[in-house]
């Protein structure tokens, strides 16, 4: 893991993260029973961390998830903590993801998200907070998992956030070691 931070990629993540939070705040979910909006911010952060870890400093990710948590009407801090956990866990297996096909990355994201949702339900139960209905949670899970490849595609094609190519990687590895 390199210590250098790329200012441009960081700035881009900041702007996109704010846009995602802003998207969540649009008055489109006033009627219950519609489609649950996926957690785009989380998908964005994870995809970014896996591609450009130098453009996703811990402080920025933490600030984004906390801000999202505070603007939404939900148990404060809990989902921010779990989002951070998902992002940091993804950061931990960057190398494993880079050498495998995209399906592996997708599966890992789904697994981590499922774990986070289960943890959320557990903590809420322990804290005696009424838990959200199961079908909404499942919908949120499915929608976010479906949204992940889309986010990745947008990052890859439009914003050109890509993992370094193998050639670059070997050069960089040589430099670091």
Q: Which is nearer to other proteins, 33 or 101 (by Cβ)?
A: 33
| Residue 130 makes contact with other proteins by CB under 8 A | yes
CA distance 160 to 3: 22
CA distance 64 to 84: 10
Residues ≥6 apart with Cβ < 8 Å to 132: none
| Residue 75 makes contact with other proteins by CB under 8 A | yes
| Contact residue for other proteins among 11, 15, 58, 142 (CB under 8 A) | 58
CA distance 58 to 49: 10
| Contact residue for other proteins among 40, 42, 50, 84 (CB under 8 A) | 84
Site for other proteins in 94-113 (CB under 8 A): none
Measured torsion, CA atoms of residues 86, 87, 93, 99, in degrees rounded to the nearest 10: 110
- Residues 4-23, mask of contacts with other proteins (x by CB under 8 A): ------------------x-
> Could you tell me the smallest distance in angstroms from the CB atom of residue 55 to other proteins?
16
| Residue 28 makes contact with other proteins by CB under 8 A | yes
Sign of CA dihedral 56, 58, 61, 64: negative
Measure CA 94 to chain center: 14
Tokens of 123: 């903590």
> Could you tell me the smallest distance in angstroms from the CB atom of residue 103 to other proteins?
27
| Contact residue for other proteins among 140, 147, 154, 163 (CB under 8 A) | 140
| Residue 81 makes contact with other proteins by CB under 8 A | yes
- Using N-to-C axis directions, what is the helix angle for 134-157 and 40-51, rounded to 10°? 40
Binding site for other proteins (CB under 8 A): 1, 3, 22, 24-33, 36-37, 58-59, 62, 66, 70-81, 84, 88, 123, 127, 129-130, 132-133, 136-137, 139-140
């Amino acid at each position: 893991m390199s210590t250098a931070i790329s200012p441009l990629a960081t700035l881009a993540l900041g702007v996109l993260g704010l846009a995602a939070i802003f998207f969540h705040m649009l008055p489109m979910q006033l009627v219950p029973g519609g489609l649950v909006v996926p957690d785009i911010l989380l998908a964005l952060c994870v995809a970014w961390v896996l591609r450009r870890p130098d453009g996703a400093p811990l402080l920025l990710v933490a600030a984004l998830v906390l801000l999202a948590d505070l603007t939404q009407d939900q148990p404060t801090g809990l989902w921010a903590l779990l989002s951070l956990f998902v992002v940091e866990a993804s950061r931990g297996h960057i190398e494993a993801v880079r050498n495998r096909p995209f399906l592996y990355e997708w599966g890992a994201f789904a697994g981590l998200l499922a774990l986070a949702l289960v943890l959320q339900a557990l903590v809420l139960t322990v804290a005696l907070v009424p838990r959200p209905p199961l079908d909404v949670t499942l919908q949120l899970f499915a929608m976010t998992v479906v949204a992940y490849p889309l986010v990745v595609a947008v990052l890859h094609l439009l914003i050109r956030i890509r993992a370094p190519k193998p050639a670059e990687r070997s050069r960089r590895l040589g430099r670091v070691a």
